[in-house]
A and B are shown apart, each in its own frame.
Chain A
Amino acid sequence: MSPTIDVQDLVVRYPRGEAVKGLSLTVEPGRCHALFGRNGAGKTSTLRALLGLVRPTSGQVKLFGLDVTQHEAEVKARVAWVPDAPGFHPWMTVAEVLGYAAALRTRWNLALQEHLLTRFELDLSAPTSALSKGQKTQLALVCAIAADPELLVLDEPTSGLDPLVRRQFLEAVIGVFQEGDPAKKTILVSTHLISEFEGVVDGFTVLSGGRAVLSTEADVARARYCRLRAWFDVDAPLGVPMKTVKPVSREGRMLEFIVDAETDAARGWLTAQGAVRIDASALSLEEIFLLAA
């Protein structure tokens, strides 16, 4: 089976400059992949190229094995997205928005729509102008999931929402979107709120300046980077002979550093140096992002 997302050497150039500078990215069906990056790193431009909203300056964007620029209608029928600030015609009610969205799609799962409306307690007769930001995002998620897409694209979906709405959003993505055929339900999420998605993402790519600076599996990343803190009876030794990813911090009897893949070797070295106590803590994805970006 073709990868759900297959991006090769993507360049997106705007009159004001290059937003994406040669990005390659592959996501297999059924996986949840995240794009992490600071503002201006190229996340939104990458998503826009995937969704066919902006034409790649060069490079190739394929979804389900189909070139997005050549098979626009077929690709769009299998993708749904939730933008960071969903906008609806203010005069439409929730029911009208759903009817309108359903009319534009080839597939529509009414049972899922009803289930999600109940979950979110959305009032069908409410005009969208009366919805809060959280309710607008919920409505956008109902529209996206009810369309029964194979690929769900989430662009900063939970930023600016209160914690309860964020939790409900995530539960709906895990519990409802992934319900159908988990092997086919793929998620691409761009987010600042990394800790919230920590357990959901299988893999992630850190973007910086329009390029991928780190692309890895979440479990592999957490096993790879480890913060070690050691205490000695005397002054801490100088010079750590392992590969570290941040300046070593040494304060009197305490030594702290982050190793890259050499946790066991570093522990052994610390013991040999006479450490009386060693604390080890794997880095969270957010900490790894801060190191890489």
Chain B
Amino acid sequence: MRWLVDYHSGVPVYLQLVQQAKSAMATGTLRDGDQLPSVRVLAEELKVNRNTVAKAWAELESEGVIENRQGSGCFVTGSKTPLRRAVRNERLAQGVDALIIQAHHLQVTDDDLRALLDEGLRRFHQTRRASGRGELT
């Protein structure tokens, strides 16, 4: 997969990597057992500090979505989300708030926003089915 860093987003670089990894896992670009690039390789490629990549991988590991196998690297552990429901909802709520504010700025009505969300979900599940992963439960 292609990793990107956007210095104009205002989001800490390590968090951008965490978010990209998660979204790649959600869409099936990264699957159970897939190996993440090593800290050194990705740091050199993106021209970022190794500590930044190491911090991102440590964050993913502490959330239980990747596993650091000593000596052989970091691997995706699976689609099971170890976070409690409340924590997950809290994380999502920020994104939802940002979306609502943006929709308001763009003068998108609530109904249009809901329709867009439904359409987005439909496409998401279609992609997942196409990549052979089935529906989220």
Give me the interface of A with B, judged by CB distance under 8 Å.
30-32, 167, 170-171, 174-175, 178-179, 182, 196, 198-202, 219, 222-223, 226, 263, 267, 271, 275-278, 280-285
Contact = CB atoms under 8 A, between A and B. Distances in A.
A263 B5 CA distance: 21
Given A219-B13, A275-B105, A277-B106, A182 B50 contact: yes
Contact of A175 (B5, B44, B54, B107): B44
Most buried by A among B5, B12, B14: B12
Contacts of B104: 271
Closest 9 CB pairs of A and B: A282-B10, A199-B48, A219-B12, A175-B44, A281-B8, A178-B50, A171-B44, A284-B7, A223-B10
Contacts of B43: 174-175, 178
Interface in B1-36: 5, 7-14
B40 interface: yes
A277 B12 contact: no
B62 interface: no
Contacts of B11: 223
Contacts of A182: 50-51, 54
Contacts of A198: 7, 47
B99 interface: no
12 contacts: A167-B47, A171-B47, A174-B48, A174-B50, A175-B40, A178-B43, A179-B40, A199-B52, A219-B13, A223-B10, A278-B105, A285-B7
Contact of B10 (A199, A226, A277): A226
A263 B10 contact: yes
Nearest to B106: A277
Nearest to A32: B49
Nearest to B45: A171
B46 interface: yes
B49 A202 contact: yes
B13 A277 contact: no
